[in-house]
């Protein structure tokens, strides 16, 4: 990924940025759940389905976005 990013920057002057959203179902204590998500979660909202929610991560470096998707809870939140 680093080689691809360097090439985008050197050849085209572009800086890659990514963002992501996770949709899921949750029927537990919603307040406790909201407190447990990574600080980089930009948005937490209710979706249409019963117990369906979405969290959105802030735009960031592609590697940071990938790491946050793997470790999105506070205990494992990756700070790069």
Query: How confident is the model at residue 48, as a pLDDT?
Result: 93
The span from the CA of 23 to the CA of 56, in Å, is: 9
Q: How many folded domains does the chain comprise? A: 1
Map tokens 């949709």 to a residue.
23
pLDDT of amino acid 75: 47
pLDDT at 34: 77
Which helix (H) or strand (E) element contains residue 65?
A: helix 62-70
Q: Could you tell me if residue 4 is inside a domain?
A: no
Is 20 within a domain? yes
pLDDT in tens, 15-50: 999 989 988 898 888 888 777 777 677 888 899 999
Evaluate if pTM is beyond 0.85: no
In which domain, by residue range, is 59 found? 16-76
Domain membership of residue 5 (yes or no) is: no
């Amino acid at each position: 990924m680093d080689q691809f990013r360097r090439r985008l920057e050197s050849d085209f002057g572009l800086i890659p940025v990514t963002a992501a959203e996770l949709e899921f179902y949750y029927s537990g204590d919603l307040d406790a759940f909201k407190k447990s998500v990574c600080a980089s979660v930009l948005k937490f909202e209710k979706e249409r389905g019963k117990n369906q929610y979405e969290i959105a991560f802030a735009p960031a470096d592609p590697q940071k976005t990938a790491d946050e998707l793997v470790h999105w809870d506070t205990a494992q939140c990756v700070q790069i």
